[in-house]
Amino acid sequence: MIGIVIVSHSRRLAEGVRELALQMVQGHVPIALAAGIDDPANPLGTDAMQVYEAIASVYSDDGVLVLMDLGSALMSAEMALEFFPSEQQQHIHLCAAPLVEGAIAAVVAASSNSDIQWVITEVQEALVAKATQLGLADCHLSSVISEEPMINDKGHTSQISLTVSNRFGLHARPAAQFVSCAARFQSQIKVRNVTKGSDFVRADSINQVGMLGVRQGDEIVITATGLDAEEALAALQTLVTTNFGEDKTPPPTSATPPTSDTPTLSSLQGIPASPGVAIAPCFRYRKIPITWDPTTSIEELPHYNVDNTREEWQRLQTALHTAQQEIQTLLSHSSIQIGDAEAAIFDAHLLFLADPTLLEASQQRIFTQHLNAEAVWQGVINEVASNYRRLDDPYLQERIADVVDVGQRVLRVLSGTPMTIVDVPQPAILVAADLTPSDTASLDPTRVLGICITAGSATSHTAILARSLGIPAIVGLPPEILQLTDGTQLAIDGETGRVWVKPEPETLVALQTKRDAHHTTQQQAITIAHQPGMTRDRHPINVFANVSSINHTQQAVNYGAEGVGLLRTEFLYLNRTTAPTEEQQLEVYQAIGQILEHRPLIIRTLDIGGDKSIPYLGVGLESNPFLGWRGIRFCLDRPLVLKTQLRAILRASFRHQIKIMFPMIATVAEIQAAKAILTEVQGELRQAGIPFDEAMQIGIMVEVPSAVTIANQLAREVDFFSIGTNDLSQYVMAADRTNPKVANLADALHPAVLCMIQQTVEAAHAAGIWVGLCGEIAADPLAAPILLGLGLDEVSLNPQAIPAFKGAIAQLTMPQAQAIVTAALQQDSATKVREIVNYEL
């Protein structure tokens, strides 16, 4: 007999529809429900595995008819269909008929032993009786009734052929952009590598796209099927033709160690990965294992059967969510430490966790094989790693490290093993079998003076991150280096890939000479960077740094920062069980002030929210943290937290040029409330005879669109504005910058964002206050003429990007920059803005 499945977001709605439909017939018609999700707080939703189980429970070769309410119900049903063998799929029909009328018509037709095609026809005409009664019989009902059964109809297919020109082809970061872009559209998008003769794969799968092995010069074909197919192909074409924002320089050839040298424990040869000379004791890093060795095969892992498959699937989803939060934190940290471009490596890690092919495979195995989450996840990871390993392309084989990195992170969460970082107690050269990208990104360059590992290559993400951190690194070393004991003196040359164990005096002299020469070259660049930021026609602009620690501040000064435009104070509150005291904060602020000497220091008050859980402050995770209880909203609700921080900042301001900046200001009332608390704290300090800077300037972050629209009112309340383009971009474009599927929309060079910046600058200058910008867009050399031409008085950016920014503005004149801005504001996309800048320069 024909089976019927009702897919709905609401369990109660589905049960009511089934009850109503069964009252229409005497005989038994099998009806299964797939409705709601197992979340007491938010039970509305659909689940593909639930749909799969419902279809399986009523399946027969006579046919199964699936009726859906809306939205994700259709996607869940389509996903569930893919779990069935192809011979069964042809008997399962997804129908676009209305849920209530369709269910009634379906059971009536099915109870009369009609065939499936007749049942579909009856279901699709379910609204005719209602339309006739309402006098709509003569109207066209094509919007709800199809002439033909709507069975898995995807629509017209379009395709384009493109040549990939960027440096490494579709490596991790461009692949992440490609997948994120494809995922924005409803159409089904596929891609194949024509040059390598591959089959079509899903464009929303980071692993399937990555394993196409698309390199520079390869031709790809992209197809899109659906209503927004043309729009999707146009967006992907723009990504490819603009080289994903990268250059087309041919990739460097990875150096290989000379075959003539026989490795000895006095001199070892590896592959140079990051230039520079380091001389220091050895520190052997041994990664703390999780419950089992994650490199072993699935057969060697302890695995067991589970009875409650839904609970096990939820356990894996929870672990995936926790891993995602950890990677987002790492992404934020890396953006500060090394800049957005290199930190984008972790965008690919986030997409890996959201890869539909991995999630579907994991979910299906848990529900069909009744295996525990650890065994299922490790099995999926092994398969992906094996697929990469079978590729002929050595560069793509290196992505195994990313797969293992993400896979281990989830396994660690599942096993309950605490998260650890590479902790080097004193300056040393780190020696290890391998380092994951996550390990490398967390390294402290003041402690880790060099890196020696036996795995990897010059194009691995570990090598890329080491170069960004400025740490000399050698990879692919002989395993003998792992035999060294801690404290053994080492000397390494990251340019040649050579390692000396207990180096002779003459070797040390030669390496020290080379290190000094390199240092001299760096100092020359730094000397130029230490000059004031100024255009060719002598127009000044202050170039400050964004920092988040004492060490980071020293790095900023070394790179030529003229001050700190944004001190992120959140680092004082994270990774602890109690809030930092006034004295603890004062010590840090004073230390940073001493490093800066006479230079300005702008301290942003605590900007914490639901994107990071801080239990001791009562800050839990929120479903939409960027629109939630964060920044000044949190601080005004927790005045004691704010007062403690303000007391520390005020006390540190004595004999230092410190300014206070309040984040996330959206209304005049908020800044007035914050100023009232500040005034109260100032009064308390005066009464206690504690000195502070009575003339200290007060500013706000302009990062909310409402603040832009009332900038003229806010300007009367403060001494300066600082535009936070990271947040402003995501709010203007309605795109979560931590969500890799839409993060590319949150582009600060989009004309909509540039107009917001222009409006803010004009309002500030009209009120007689100065205005800066502290978003990482300033780290993009292409943004220099735009920011200059918009009339900003100050920019604040990642310390390492300061020399490049100063060099860029030194080549410009103000009239030239203003002309570029005029042209940029007339464009309709960030891509065209960049084209304008490239053309003008």
Identify the residue with better confidence: 212 or 40. 212
645 shares its domain with 759: yes
Closest CA to 437 of 548, 522, 326, 317: 326
Q: Which of 477, 497, 45 is nearest to 265 (CA)?
A: 477
Beta strands in 96-176 (DSSP E): 157-163
Tokens at 559, concatenated: 């790179």
The per-residue pLDDT of the chain, averaged, comes to: 82
Q: Convert the pLDDT of each residue in 111-120 to its tens digit.
A: 766 678 767 8
Whether residue 27 is predicted with pLDDT greater than 60 in this model: the reply is no
> Are residues 830 and 789 located together in one domain of the fold?
yes
Cα distances from 110 to residues 25, 88, 130, 280, in angstroms, run 10, 19, 21, 80
Return the higher-pLDDT residue of 364 and 744.
364
Indicate whether 793 pLDDT > 50: yes
Question: What pLDDT does 496 receive?
Answer: 87
In a domain, 760, yes or no: yes
Residue 31 within any structural domain of the chain:
yes
Q: Are residues 65 and 210 in the same domain?
A: no
Q: Does 774 qualify as catalytic in the annotation?
A: yes
Give the pLDDT of residue 139: 39
How would residue 659 be classed by pLDDT, with cut points 50, 70 and 90? very high
Looking at the fold, whether 126 and 168 belong to one and the same domain comes out as no
Q: Active site includes 635? A: no
Cβ atoms of 345 and 337 within 8 Å: the answer is no
What's the gap between Cα 626 and its chain centre? 14
CA distances from 579 to 543, 571, 759 (A): 32, 11, 38
Q: Is residue 261 part of a domain?
A: no
Q: Which residues pair with 540 in a beta bridge?
A: 534
pLDDT tens digits along 476-503: 888 888 888 889 999 999 888 899 999 9
558: confidence class by pLDDT, cuts 50, 70, 90? confident
Give residue-wise pLDDT tens across range 182-239.
Answer: 877 888 899 999 888 888 888 877 778 877 888 888 899 999 988 888 888 988 988 8
How confident is the model at residue 147, as a pLDDT?
Answer: 33
CATH number at residue 207: 3.30.1340.10
- Contact yes or no for 157/200 (Cβ under 8 A): no
**201 and 56, same domain (yes or no):** no
62 with 122, same domain?
yes
- Choice between 299 and 772, residue whose per-residue pLDDT is larger: 772
Query: Residue 751: left if φ>0, alpha if ψ -120 to 50, beta else—which one?
Result: alpha
Q: How many CA atoms lie within 13 A of 236 on its CB side?
A: 35
Of residues 790 and 743, which shows the higher confidence score?
790
- Is residue 151's pLDDT more than 70? no
3-state secondary structure 494-509: CCCCEEEECCCHHHHH
Query: What is the pLDDT at residue 613?
Result: 56
For residues 654-679, give the mean pLDDT: 96
Q: Residue 399: which of 361, 358, 436 has the closest Cα?
A: 436
pLDDT of 763 reads: 97
Shared-domain flag, residues 119 and 170 = no
Residue 642 covered by a domain:
yes
Q: In what order do the strands lie in the sheet with 188-193?
A: 157-163, 219-225, 188-193, 201-202
CATH number of the domain enclosing 473: 3.50.30.10
- Residue 621: count other Cβ atoms within 10 Å of its Cβ: 14
- pLDDT band at residue 446, thresholds of 50, 70 and 90? confident
Q: Choose the weakest-confidence range: 31-45, 589-603, 614-628.
A: 614-628
Q: How many CA atoms lie within 13 A of 368 on its CB side?
A: 12
User: How confident is residue 386, by pLDDT bands cut at 50, 70 and 90?
Assistant: confident
**Same-domain status, 689 and 834:** yes
Asked whether 706 and 666 are in contact (CB, 8 A), the reply is yes
For the ranges 26-35, 279-288, 338-347, the lowest mean pLDDT is seen at 338-347
pLDDT tens, 322-381? 888 788 777 766 765 666 556 667 777 888 888 888 888 898 889 888 989 888 998 888
Which pLDDT score is estimated for 470?
A: 82
Angle between helices 814-824 and 830-840 (to 10 degrees): 150
Q: Which residue has the higher pLDDT, 360 or 819?
A: 819
Asked whether the predicted pLDDT for residue 142 surpasses 70, the reply is no
Phi, psi of 602 (to 5 degrees): -100, 115
Please tell me whether residues 781 and 741 are part of one structural domain.
Answer: yes
Q: What is the mean pLDDT of residues 89-94?
A: 88
Establish how many alpha carbons lie within 13 A of residue 145's alpha carbon, considering only the half-sphere containing its beta carbon.
19
- Residue 197 or residue 738, greater confidence: 197
Residue 270 has pLDDT above 60, yes or no: yes
Q: What one-character-per-residue DSSP string does 747-798 give?
A: -TTSHHHHHHHHHHHHHHHHTT-EEEE-SGGGGSGGGHHHHHHTT-SEEEE-
Per-residue pLDDT at 242 exceeds 90? no
pLDDT value of residue 685: 97
Most confident residue range from 237-246, 393-402, 421-430: 421-430
My answer on whether 718 and 668 are in the same domain is: yes
The pLDDT of residue 114: 64
Q: Answer for the pair 525, 777: CB distance below 8 angstroms, yes or no.
A: no
Domain range for 314 is: 298-415
**Window from 38-47, 152-161, 301-310, 832-841 with minimum mean pLDDT:** 152-161
* Model confidence pLDDT, tens digit, residues 681-702: 999 999 999 999 999 999 999 9
Structural domain ending residue among the three candidates 359, 390, 415: 415
For 169, the token pair is 């082809």
Per-residue burial over 739-754, b if 16 or more Cβ lie within 10 Å, else e, is bbbbbbbbbbbbbebb
Predicted local confidence at residue 720, as pLDDT: 98
Q: How many residues are there in the chain?
A: 841
- Is a pLDDT exceeding 90 seen at residue 752? yes
Give the pLDDT confidence score for residue 306 in this predicted structure. Answer: 87
Q: Which residue has the tokens 């100024």?
A: 534
pLDDT at 332: 67
* pLDDT score for 352: 81
Residues 393 and 441 in one domain: no
> Is 527 contained in some domain?
no
Look at residues 505, 528, 557 and tell me which one is the last residue of a structural domain: 505
As for how many domains the chain has, the answer is 5
Residue at 533 is within a domain: no
Same-domain status, 278 and 306: no
Is the predicted pLDDT of residue 657 greater than 90, yes or no? yes
For residue 46, the domain's CATH number is 3.40.50.510
**Residue that is last in its domain, among 353, 384, 415:** 415
pLDDT at 419: 73
Backbone angles phi, psi at 271, to 5 degrees: -100, 125
pLDDT, mean of residues 92-101: 84
Contact status, residue 637 vs residue 599, Cβ threshold 8 Å: no
Burial of 437 (0-12, 13-18, 19+ CB in 10 A): buried
149: pLDDT strictly greater than 60: no
Q: Is residue 320 part of a domain?
A: yes
pLDDT tops 60 at residue 140: no
Residue 581 in any domain: the answer is: yes
Residue of 93, 349, 461, 552 marked catalytic: 461
Determine the pLDDT at residue 7: 93
Give the whole-angstrom CA distance, residue 315 versus residue 317: 5
**DSSP class of 305:** B
